[in-house]
Amino acid sequence: MIIVASTVLAVLMIATGVLASQAYSDKIAKNVIVAGVNIGDLNKKEALNTLKKEGKFKNITLKYKDQKWTVPESDINLKIDFNKTVEDAYKYNKGNGFFTDLGRTLKSDFGHENKINLSMEYDKKALENKMNEIKGKLDSPVKNATVDIVDEKVKIIPEESGRDMNVYSSLNKTVNNLKKNIFETELVVKLNPASLKAAELKGIDTLLGSYETTYGGMENRDYNIKKSTIESGGMLLKPGEEYSFNGITGEKTIENGYKSAPIIESGKLVPGIGGGVCQTSSTIFNTALLSGMEITNRRNHTIPSDYVSLGRDAMVVDGNPGQDFKFKNPFKHPVYIKNYVSGNKIGSQIFGFKEDKQNIKISTEMLGSFGGGSKTITDPSLPAGKRVVEKPARSGYNVVTYRSYLDENGKIIKTEKVANSSYPSQTGIIRVGAAVKKTPTPSAKPSKQAKPAVNPQQQAPQGATQQTQAR
């Protein structure tokens, strides 16, 4: 027993001596890894050369799926202190206390990998700026599924999720990776799903109806028309579901992005927010008529429009009660409403199932016109004969709008009345000047009279006489 114990003790002493010699040699402990490079069992000079030769940490790579962006070290002032890194690796099993150094040496000898971090510094703000640049390229808006006509065929365009890169989270993730000597980071990107997917449009293969109107001439009005056109389209209307123009576009306010342009108020054109949106609602009204939609809420303007004929306009007004334009999908299948802006035209299309396609013709009948005369008012404040139109005369009209359904030969199957329109007349006012013209009277010539004698005591000083003449 004594011999065995002595043998074990001797072996331990020898092993301890070997381990101690390794711990205090000029070499780095075995299996010391820096940024994926094994510099174990090398002296400082060898380790320094190996790191510089084999290390791949000059650039930072940021990626999202198959897209990659390289951030050069110069862009963020990245500096790696190789000498300090090697020194840290060298001290892994040296100078930490006898038993700590001994334990670390033992672990290294048995194949345990010991990771040492690179000693580095960089400009974090510059890295954040780079990420903001990437965000500008990577971010994208949500694109709902839509329907379009491609090569004269109706095609469903799939949806695309929106991308929103989180710079703060991506930066923190990159910083933490660099601490671990990881120079490639997957960016943190939130995907915003589309609200309308291609699967919901399945079966829609036919253009049911479309209509265009022309606009242009007033910058703010044009802006409002284009804005409301885009906002009021791109939606699926399920069977029996009702479309509300005001419900989709919201209130026409400055806060909602609308501008000031002429609107009709009490039969007059006055400045107002959102002027022009009625052209959009009128365009959609005609598309709805031609597509076979059931009109549930529509009213004409008080002044006839110049972009559609009488009986084919649809006025909208915000507020309560206000005035909305609404229609329902009467079919057993969904329909898709698409609006567009093309040059100086806006258009609306309604797509649906082939079996719901109908041959439709819209017509109007004028029941009569009335009023529209002018009255003349004498205005003494105006020059005689001067005429000023204070209020233009406008005739009133009563119009009925019909929708006819035709067979394949163009023969009318049935006709229905879809709208009554009454446009009030306006009596014009003309002011005529009545002021009396003044006849100029000829000026009288002064009579020659004898000069009165001047009293020397009353004669004015010479200077005073010259001042009066100067007046």
CATH number at residue 399: 2.20.230
pLDDT tens by residue, 158-180: 999 999 999 999 999 999 999 88
Within a domain: 67: no
Instruction: Give the separation between CA 185 and CA 178, rounded to whole angstroms.
Output: 9
Within a domain: 442: no
pLDDT tens by residue, 409-446: 999 999 999 999 999 998 888 889 886 656 666 655 55
Where are the alpha helices (H) located in 326-461, listed in sequence order? none
Within a domain: 72: no
Claim to verify: residue 343 and residue 373 sit in the same structural domain? no
Claim to verify: residue 224 and residue 312 sit in the same structural domain? yes
pLDDT at 311: 97
Claim to verify: residue 227 and residue 344 sit in the same structural domain? yes
Expressed as residue numbers, the domain containing 161 is: 133-198
The dihedrals phi and psi of 201, each to the nearest 5 degrees, come to -95, 0
Claim to verify: residue 164 and residue 297 sit in the same structural domain? no
pLDDT tens by residue, 222-237: 999 999 999 999 999 9
Query: What would the two tokens of residue 349 be?
Result: 């299309």
Please give the sequence-ordered ranges of beta strands (E in DSSP) within 258-355, or none if there are none: 260-265, 268-273, 294-297, 326-328, 335-342, 345-352
Of 198, 229, 244, the one marking the end of a domain is 198
Instruction: Establish whether the linkage from the previous residue to 321 is cis, with ω within 30° of 0.
Output: yes
pTM (2 decimals)? 0.74
Q: How large is the C-alpha radius of gyration of the chain?
A: 45
Give the 3-state secondary structure of 164-224: EECHHHHHHHHHHHHHCCCCEEECCEEEECCCCCHHHHCCCCEEEEEEEEECCCCHHHHHH
Claim to verify: residue 290 and residue 410 sit in the same structural domain? no
Query: What would the two tokens of residue 306 be?
Result: 């110049």
What value does the mean pLDDT of the chain take?
A: 86
Claim to verify: residue 339 and residue 365 sit in the same structural domain? no
pLDDT at 464: 36
Determine the Cα angle at 248 with ends 243 and 249, to 5°. Answer: 135
Q: How many structural domains does the chain have?
A: 4
Within a domain: 66: no
Of 178, 198, 218, the one marking the end of a domain is 198
Claim to verify: residue 353 and residue 363 sit in the same structural domain? no
Within a domain: 441: no
pLDDT at 379: 85
Claim to verify: residue 380 and residue 255 sit in the same structural domain? no
pLDDT tens by residue, 362-399: 999 999 988 878 888 888 888 988 889 888 888 999 99
Within a domain: 189: yes
Query: What would the two tokens of residue 231 be?
Result: 């906002």
Of 183, 198, 213, the one marking the end of a domain is 198
Within a domain: 350: yes
Claim to verify: residue 163 and residue 275 sit in the same structural domain? no
Claim to verify: residue 267 and residue 406 sit in the same structural domain? no
Q: Which residue has the higher pLDDT, 19 or 203?
A: 203
Claim to verify: residue 416 and residue 310 sit in the same structural domain? no
Within a domain: 143: yes
